[in-house]
Structure 1
Amino acid sequence: MSVLRAAWVPDDDPERDWQVAADLAVRWVEREAAEQDTTAVLVLNAFGAEQTVPALRRLTQQHLVATPRSGRQRVGIGVGSVLAYVPDAKTLEFATGLARGSSLAVVEGSLFPLRGWAAQVHAIDLTRPEDEVEELDSRLTSALGRLKFYGNNGYGPPFDRQQAARVLDDLRSAGLLDRDAVLGAMAAQGISPNGLMRLGQLIDSASGR
């Protein structure tokens, strides 16, 4: 079972205070937990951030907190709504697993781009909750399906990498090769963190970086 509802706070305004971003996500997750009568979970890359951001500290006073290193045994599986705070790819994958059958909010940081992820999971932008959810170009969406097919083994086998590279070359030729959008979208489709790393390398090669 997948995540039922998703929301995010994009890192698109240098003037937006991190406390404001965290507060938007915390309030949404708390509402989701109350409606579902479940326990919320704050997911961090590492323990410590919850002590420096007041909104996060407030959340942990009544709910749970975990990191990929602490593992699922600390909070269980699918226990309720989840807030992933400025996650990297590994932390996002972990948070998504915990939010299975429930709700997931993510505050974007510099470690992993989320625009493609948000479009794939139809996440509400909590800074503009009345706006329509951004959609990816239909041609890009079609290519993402092929990338997922070749990424089931994390783009490890040479054949999979070759085929993925061809898809990326086609996107580049069409002017649709957006690194952040592709990586975020493929994370939403379940490509592993290692697979995303290899895919990023393929994108850089296709872009001539």
Structure 2
Amino acid sequence: MSSILRAAWVPDDDPERDWEIAADLAVEWVRRECAEQRAGGVLVLNAFGAEQQIPSFRRFAAEHTVTTPRASRNRVGRGTGPVLAYVPDERTLDFAAGLARGSSLAVVEGVHSFPFKGWARQLGAVDLTRPDEQPEELDSKLSEAINRLDFYKNNGFGDQFGKQQAQRILADLRSAGMLERDAILGALAARGASARGVRNLGRLIDALDRR
């Protein structure tokens, strides 16, 4: 299971929501987590530069650490404190989750970022646009299939055995009308699947959909 203690997200579900508003919601939540844990925060980006485009990010960057998966891992330690990942892809999410071990992680979803619905449902992440609503849970049958996929994820679904087992589980989900790509990939990412594993599983799902 995940080593993230608390999670939150800003879904990309409102085309009228300004990016600065989404960033502000995440920054406010991470600041509260930092204060509660008495720890410094980390802003994780796909590439440097975005922290200068949004005022709340500029202020956060002045007080905390900013990094990317391409930066040296010596820049920040693992498990240093709460982490905010801005529109991350699979690789950036994997990196951010590693930094947030034993702490908190907030993500801002974007049009071209990794889909976070399954991630949020797996972790019980607070939707910062609807903080008073209870997080949506995964369907029990889908959750059982995700448990089985999680068991075979160690080699990133790249070896023949892991790939075959994943294909069998995914085929069963498809037959049941439950092959929810975003939910499955997000849940596996939340359970610690590597970026490579998430991408490989996505390819297996896409291959099934083309049949």
Mapping for residues 95-174 of structure 1, pairs under 5 Å: 95-109=96-110, 110-174=112-176
Aligned-residue offset at 1:77: 1.6
Secondary structure at the counterpart of residue 32 of structure 1: helix
Tell me, in whole angstroms, the C-alpha distance in 1 between the residues paired with 2:95 and 2:171.
31
Aligned-residue offset at 1:185: 0.6
Partner residue, 1:207? 209
Tell me, in whole angstroms, the C-alpha distance in 2 between the residues paired with 1:61 and 1:55.
10
RMSD of aligned residue pairs (Cα, Å) = 1.1
Partner residue, 2:37? 36
Mapping for residues 62-77 of structure 1, pairs under 5 Å: 62-77=63-78
Tell me, in whole angstroms, the C-alpha distance in 2 between the residues paired with 1:61 and 1:50.
10
Report how many aligned residue pairs link the two structures: 209
Partner residue, 1:194? 196
Tell me, in whole angstroms, the C-alpha distance in 2 between the residues paired with 1:114 and 1:49.
20
Partner residue, 2:95? 94
Q: Which amino acid aligns with 2:106?
A: A
Aligned-residue offset at 1:71: 3.4
- Greater shift, 22-31 or 151-160, is seen at 151-160
Aligned-residue offset at 1:111: 2.0
Tell me, in whole angstroms, the C-alpha distance in 2 between the residues paired with 1:97 and 1:195.
15
Tell me, in whole angstroms, the C-alpha distance in 2 between the residues paired with 1:189 and 1:46.
25
Secondary structure at the counterpart of residue 196 of structure 2: helix
Q: Which amino acid aligns with 2:21?
A: V
Tell me, in whole angstroms, the C-alpha distance in 2 between the residues paired with 1:32 and 1:159.
41
Tell me, in whole angstroms, the C-alpha distance in 1 between the residues paired with 2:93 and 2:151.
21
Q: Which amino acid aligns with 1:197?
A: R
Partner residue, 1:178? 180
Deviations 1:108-129 (A, max 9, x none): 1122000000111110000000
Decide whether aligned partners of structure 1 residues 115 and 71 sit closer, same or farther in structure 2, where only a CA change above 3 A counts: farther
- Regions of 4+ moved over 6 Å: none
- Normalising by structure 2, report the TM-score: 0.96
Aligned-residue offset at 1:37: 0.8
Secondary structure at the counterpart of residue 210 of structure 2: coil
- Greater shift, 183-192 or 17-26, is seen at 183-192
Aligned-residue offset at 1:72: 2.7
- Normalising by structure 1, report the TM-score: 0.97
Tell me, in whole angstroms, the C-alpha distance in 1 between the residues paired with 2:210 and 2:145.
20
Deviations 1:24-53 (A, max 9, x none): 000000011011111011000110000111
Q: Which amino acid aligns with 2:15?
A: P
Secondary structure at the counterpart of residue 207 of structure 1: helix
Q: Identity rate of aligned residues, in percent?
A: 65
Stretches of structure 1 that go unaligned for 5 or more consecutive residues are none
Tell me, in whole angstroms, the C-alpha distance in 2 between the residues paired with 1:131 and 1:145.
26
Q: Which amino acid aligns with 1:31?
A: R
Aligned-residue offset at 1:15: 0.7
Aligned-residue offset at 1:148: 1.2
Q: Which amino acid aligns with 2:69?
A: P
Tell me, in whole angstroms, the C-alpha distance in 1 between the residues paired with 2:4 and 2:160.
32
Secondary structure at the counterpart of residue 114 of structure 2: coil
